[in-house]
Amino acid sequence: KPATGKLPPLEQLEAVFSRIGYSPGSHIVAYDDEGGGWAGRFIWTLDVVGHASKSYLNGGLLAWASARLPLTNEIPKTELSRVMLQIDNSVIAEKSDVIASINNESVIIWDARSPEEYSGNQIFAARGGHVPEAINLNWLELMDPQRDLRLISNLQELLADRGLTQKETVITHCQTHHRSGLSYLVGKLLGLNIKAYHGSWSEWGNDPDTPIETTVN
């Protein structure tokens, strides 16, 4: 089975960025309507192509609408731009990187899926469970439903409590690198040396040779 969340080929990325009228000199604000998963994935994609000037709208569309800020249903017109991108591999983790991280104390795997998926009780691939030694911190714990899905105020404390600090390299993933878009974004905001395993569990869990654990500490 294909890993559905993997980064598309460079030519496809360039076509998408061209279609939205991308300019390397622009400042890009990313948001979504679900708490930051898709916006974080886009922030990661911007890091992949080396775009530095960007922001995340905390709380996204829900927080914006709750503050009674202006909304429209008009789709802005864009002009095709000529785009040539370069890939920055420093924020990308491959399956081989995750395999190499096992028993490596300088690398931590952050599994952003639900506890049920982490334990193997809920399965969306050929096999369930988690990468050996991976830390489970559900992406939903990063957002505050009482504050229109804005990021929680004690992010650094939460991550440190789970062993996620600036001391190690962190590789984050979920099922398709959608939910781990938010965990990647949070890691970047807190200054972690973080990268995303874009194959995520849709690759790892469908590979019969990858090591898997179901024990929950």
Residues 8-20: tens digit of each pLDDT = 999 999 999 999 9
The answer on pLDDT for 217 being more than 90 is: no
Q: Could you give the 3-state DSSP secondary structure of residue 92?
A: strand
Q: What is the mean pLDDT of residues 76-83?
A: 92
Catalytic hit among 174, 185, 194, 196: 174
Contact between 137 and 154 under an 8 Å Cβ cutoff? The reply is: no
Residue with tokens 């089975």: 1
Model confidence band, residue 215 (pLDDT cutoffs 50, 70, 90): confident
Higher-confidence residue of 182 and 217: namely 182
CB within 8 Å of 188: residues ≥ 6 apart: 43, 47, 194
CATH class of the domain at 89-204:
alpha beta
Distance of CA 37 to the CA centre of its chain: 7
Let me know if 174 is a catalytic residue. Answer: yes
pLDDT at 216: 81
- Percent pLDDT > 90 in the chain is 95
Backbone angles phi, psi at 24, to 5 degrees: -60, -25
User: In this predicted model, what pLDDT tens digit does every residue of 116-166 receive, in sequence order?
Assistant: 999 999 999 999 999 999 999 999 999 999 999 999 999 999 999 999 999
**Sequence ranges of the domains in the chain:** 89-204
**Global pTM value:** 0.95
d(CA 94, CA 198): 7
Structure token digits, residue 36 = 């930051």
The answer on pLDDT for 52 being more than 80 is: yes
Q: What is the mean pLDDT of residues 186-201?
A: 98
Pairing of strands 143-144, 150-151: antiparallel
Backbone angles phi, psi at 168, to 5 degrees: -115, 165
